[in-house]
Structure 1
Amino acid sequence: MSGMTFELDTPHGRMMATMLAGIAQFERDLLSERVKSGLAAARARGKKLGRQKGQRPKSDKLAPKVVQAVAEGRSYRWIARDLGISKNTVLAQVHQLISST
């Protein structure tokens, strides 16, 4: 809002700030309602939302390297830094390996 100024130490200024804040909150609430309504309508049509379970292309591609590095006794932090993935991704790959055996 370029060029619009008002003093917050006057009753008129505080009223304007309060009104503008209320309008901004109203707009945020409307946006939230529209998003929730759209998601509910998509679910009602049977649309699957979000990433498919288990779909991790980068970490799945690197899984053999993670397994090999773990077998060599490397630390999770070293593996993560070496492969350019997070330590939690390394840990998830190890847990996936353990649960599949």
Structure 2
Amino acid sequence: MIFEMGANLQGDNFDTKKEDKKKKPKQNIEPKNKHQLVFTFEKRKGKPVTLLGRFYLVENEKKQILKLLKKKLACGGSIKDEWIELQGDVKTKVKEILENEGWKFK
């Protein structure tokens, strides 16, 4: 009679790799005229927030665009993944500014 209890530990194939959670997947980097930017509007805690998005750019270029928009619109903002978040309902003004810079919209 064979009595087995517990895990089967035969073999030497154990996966002990850790995943790097900070490492983000690579994005496709596209030029300005290939982007199709989209607006969304949300209210967070009663305050309006305009999301402008799907920027497939290098992080440094996203920061430059955010800096330009914050300066021209006199509002706060941040970058979350491929989206730029701006405080307030500024959709029409953002569209004017970025069209002058050569961006396309849906």
Could you tell me the TM-score, scaled by structure 2's length?
0.24
Q: Give the number of the structure whose residues are more often strand, by fraction.
A: 2
Q: Give the number of the structure whose residues are more often helix, by fraction.
A: 1
Structure number with greater CO (CA < 8 Å, separation at least 6) is: 2
